[in-house]
Structure 1
Amino acid sequence: MNKTGTAVILCGGKSSRMGFDKSKIEIEGKYLIELIAKKLETIFDEVVLVAEKKDKFKKLKYTVLEDLKKEYGPAGGMYTGLKYANSKYVFFMACDMPIVNLEYIKYMMKIAEESDCDCVLPRNGKWIEPMYAFYSKDLIKDFEKGIDNNNLLLYDIIKSSRIHYIPEEVTRSYSKDLEMFVNLNYVKDLEILKKIY
């Protein structure tokens, strides 16, 4: 398959509930983000990490971008990723989401490339999954405005844009239990990794 576009793994966050930096979770001597990135690079031209400091992952082969807008949570990291990316659409996921569903990501990528939208977002019941989604560089100014106004809720930033929602039933056809949206928030959640790796 032809690889295209940029995938960004957001490696910020305070990790207060976990008690240590989630971006440095290790599995058999490798960071979880390395395992995530290795899967993503099978379908993307480039995979980059966004962190609060450029030298955070010096030993990794992946490009590490330093947050252009520090202390603004995912909004700041996504702004940085969109500013950097060469491709129009950028796939974002968080460093504490251990399950990479390549077929579903390719499905979203196809929608992004073939429809005239600003982002492709999965629905999950009443909610959306903004951290497993595609965003267009056309949203850079929206993110900048949200950050400048200290309005950091992702949905508030993008709600007036052209959003392509993926119905939950479609997502479940790729992932019956929606497991790719799982986050590792607490130490007990690390048990999930034993099932995956």
Structure 2
Amino acid sequence: MVLAGGRSSRMGVPKSGLEWHGSTLLYRTAALVARTVGGPVVVVGAPGQLLPALPVGVAVVTDPVEGLGPMQGIAAGLAAVADRAAAAFVCSTDMPFLHTAFVRRVLRGLAVPDVDMVLPVARGFRQPLAAGYRTALAGLITDLVAEGDLRPGMLFKHCRVLQLDDAELLADTALARYDPDLESVVNINTPQDYAQAHGRPPAEVTVQCFGALAGGGRRGARSIRAATLDEAASGVGLALDRHVVAALNGDQITRDGQLPLEAGDSVAFISGDAGG
């Protein structure tokens, strides 16, 4: 579940629509979560908020009351998926370095008996907008908001919370390998934050071409920097069209050029033509 939020006073524009390597921050975050979880993915927007394009299959839920902060949005999102999922990963849209290994590590904490919420305490701060929630908490959060308790900290007093510090998070070998500084929780609050994040080189991914696409010097695996599938294709002189498909990490078949890539990804480009 992704909280799209509204206009940021420090950014001057909605963060959800900020450009990110030919896509938007919202598309990247929603698609990355969709890559990770097996259930529904919803984006929670403010009333009347115009959202940029979303990945296929991602639904939109409208926060019923504007201006009540993230708690209201969390309640709306959890309620929207409660009949289809027992647990959810909840995050804000402005986390450009979120890694699937982080999402998986957090959600794994909900396998601990009697835990209602998994709260990372990463890089010195509690991270309620990069956390795991039981969807059954929707009613409790709605009640707290109605009573005027709008801070996520109030929720912690009413449910069973598993806190994960840096060391506990990084005990996960995949997370330690691909996000050792826990930049998954870094968010964007100012134009300077955005410029700095956007100016960083994308993560390294492994790309390999097969069949007819392996000609022209493309034979063999190579490491390139790419934030999206489009950038990976361009890096080996290809364009995603009806003649080319991609297999991400050996399973997901796609032509979605905006699909976000991350450290550790492997992309195989294959001819989309019959017999390719």
- In structure 1, what residue type is equivalent to 2:42? V
1:46 aligns with: 40
- Structure 2 CA distance for partners of 1:55 and 1:167, relative to 1, 3 Å: closer
- My pick for the range that moved more, 169-178 or 114-123, is 169-178
SS in 2 for 1:72: coil
- Per-residue CA shift, 1:15-38, capped at 9, x if unaligned? 001111111111243211112222
Q: Secondary structure at the match of 1:42?
A: helix
Structure 1, 112-121 or 122-131: larger mean CA deviation: 122-131
Report the secondary structure of 2:41's partner residue: strand
Residue equivalent to 1:4: none
Question: Which residue of the other structure, out of 45, 48, 60, is the alignment partner of 1:64?
Answer: 60
Asked if residue 159 in structure 1 is aligned to residue 157 in structure 2, the reply is yes
Could you say if the C-alpha distance between residues 138 and 59 of structure 1 is closer, same or farther in structure 2, counting changes exceeding 3 Å?
closer
Offset, 1:139: 1.5
Q: Match of 2:5?
A: 12
Q: Calculate the TM-score normalised by the size of structure 1.
A: 0.87
Query: What pairs with 1:6-155 in structure 2 (closer than 5 Å)?
Result: 8-44=1-37, 45-53=39-47, 56-57=50-51, 59-60=53-54, 61=56, 62-85=58-81, 86-124=84-122, 127-155=125-153
Please report how far the alpha carbon of residue 102 of structure 1 lies from its aligned counterpart in structure 2 after TM superposition.
Answer: 1.1
- Kindly indicate whether the alpha-carbon contact (under 8 Å) linking 1:54 and 1:65 is maintained by their aligned counterparts in 2: no
Once the two structures are superposed, residues 82-122 of structure 1 have per-residue CA deviations (whole angstroms, 9 ceiling, x without a partner) of 11012111111101111222112112222213432110011
- Aligned with residue 189 of structure 2, among 182, 185, 192: 185
Shift in alpha-carbon separation, 1:37–1:125, aligned structure 2, 3 A: closer
The structure, 1 or 2, with the larger RCO (C-alpha pairs under 8 Å, 6+ apart) is 1
Q: Compare 116-125 and 57-66 and name the one that shifted more.
A: 57-66
- Residue deviations 1:26-51, cap 9 Å, x none? 12432111122222212222221100
**What's the CA shift for 1:133?**
0.5
Aligned Cα root-mean-square deviation (Å): 2.0
Following TM superposition, by how much is the alpha carbon of 1:54 offset from its aligned partner in structure 2, in angstroms? 6.3
Which whole-Å CA distance do the structure 2 matches of 1:59 and 1:131 have between them? 22
Q: Between 163-172 and 88-97, report the one with greater CA deviation.
A: 163-172
Give the unaligned 5+ runs of structure 2. 203-226, 228-276
For residue 147 of structure 1, report the CA deviation from its aligned partner: 0.9
* Aligned partner letter, 2:28: L
Bigger helix fraction: 1
Question: Deviations along 1:53-102, whole A, 9 cap, x unmatched?
Answer: 46723743321111123321101110101110121111111011112221
SS at match of 2:133: strand
Q: Computing the radius of gyration over CA atoms, which structure comes out larger, 1 or 2? A: 2
Higher mean C-alpha displacement, 68-77 vs 54-63: 54-63
The structural deviation recorded for 1:126 is 5.7
Q: May I ask how many residue pairs the two structures share in their alignment? A: 190
- In structure 1, runs of 5+ residues without a counterpart are 1-7
